[in-house]
Amino acid sequence: MNNPVLMMSALGVVSLFMLSLLGAAIYMTIKPRLRLKKRLAAIGAVSSAPAQRGDGRRQKRIQDKVKSLQEKNKRQQRGDVLRASFLQAGLHADIKAYVIASIITGLTCAAIAAVAKLPLIAVPLIGVAGALGLPKLFLGFLAKKRQKNFIAHFAEAIDVVVRGIRSGLPIGECLAIVSREFEGPVGEEFTLIIEGQRLGLTLDDILERGLQRIPIPEYRFFAIVLQIQKQTGGNLADTLEGLSTVLRERKKMRDKIKALSSEAKSSAAIIASLPFAVLGMLSLLNPEYVGLLFSTSTGNWIIGIAGFWMVCGVAVMSKMINFEI
């Protein structure tokens, strides 16, 4: 009786110690970003006065437009997150089919947990986690894939619009050319823009719906440029050419970060796979020794705690090697 109690106490102490280390690691990870945000805020506060002397009105209009778009997106996300996830994934919103798929996924996960002879308390928890998490992860995967495809060809589509405007074509015809020549999300979005104009929708409504389907900074830049250009006028070709240059520089920076962090990602994958590899080798060499983890309550607790810290470690490594531009 004393041995399990002592073991659980030791595991509790070790867990608290590891939790403190995890908190310190997370703090050290986000500390440079917080410092960078403070510096950017200070620079913005200092440089606001000169901007008001020249094109302060235009800058203020752009900032107001960005804030209005962000507020609309927040209201939309609060109202119907699931429908927005379907739109971003490029799927038709069928809530009933999604609920049925979630229930089937949850029952499958619970059945696998029961076959693995996990504790009875863990079976319903795993079922609920599978029903709520896996379909959402699948929709997020489809949305990320669609957004990457859009970003990869968006700058080329803007270049086509710029060349068409400079050759004397109207903006509507330039957008129609992009919708015909480009496949995937870029062609679909430009087709929806043309159809919205034919139906009599305003440009603000069309771009707002586009941001619900493609909520990325690149498309937000495009929407802001078109809306500001509509209000202030000017040379649209030069403005879109500048936007294309910015998008290409962002893509170049993203590819550079991906190349520099590839070694760290490989190391993280190797470190994360080592426990499973060692467990598999030990199960082949000495099955009775490894079987204690699955056949005893103490072993089940050890697996649960180890899995929890494994997830925390993978999350910390993922946060450290993934950068957003």
- pLDDT 10s digits, 177-206: 988 888 888 888 888 888 888 888 888 888
pLDDT at 73: 55
CB atoms inside a 10 Å sphere around CB 25? 16
The pTM for the full model equals: 0.64
Q: In the predicted model, what is the mean pLDDT of residues 53-72?
A: 57
Does residue 157 register a pLDDT over 70? yes
Does residue 113 register a pLDDT over 80? yes
What does the pLDDT look like over 7-27, one tens digit per residue? 566 666 666 666 666 666 666
In contact, 83 and 109? CB cutoff 8 Å: no
Q: In the predicted model, what is the mean pLDDT of residues 168-175?
A: 85
pLDDT at 104: 92
Residues with Cβ < 8 Å from 65, sequence gap 6 or more? 224, 227, 228
pLDDT at 325: 63
* Residue 315 CB-half CA count within 13 A: 10
In contact, 153 and 186? CB cutoff 8 Å: yes
Q: In the predicted model, what is the mean pLDDT of residues 94-103?
A: 84
- 3-state SS class at 55: coil
Does residue 49 register a pLDDT over 70? no
138 or 268: which carries more pLDDT confidence? 138
Cα angle for residues 32, 37, 39 (degrees, 5° grid): 95
Angle 217-232/122-166 helices, nearest 10 degrees?
40
> 51 falls in which pLDDT band (50, 70, 90)?
very low
> 44 falls in which pLDDT band (50, 70, 90)?
very low
The whole-angstrom separation of Cα 72 and Cα 226 is 17
Query: What DSSP string runs through 89-151?
Result: HT----HHHHHHHHHHHHHHHHHHHHHTT--TTHHHHHHHHHHHHHHHHHHHHHHHHHHHHHH
Does residue 52 register a pLDDT over 50? no
Picking from 38-52, 113-127, 142-156, 288-302, which range would have the lowest pLDDT averaged per residue?
A: 38-52
Rounded to the nearest integer, the mean pLDDT of the chain is: 78
Q: In the predicted model, what is the mean pLDDT of residues 89-95?
A: 77
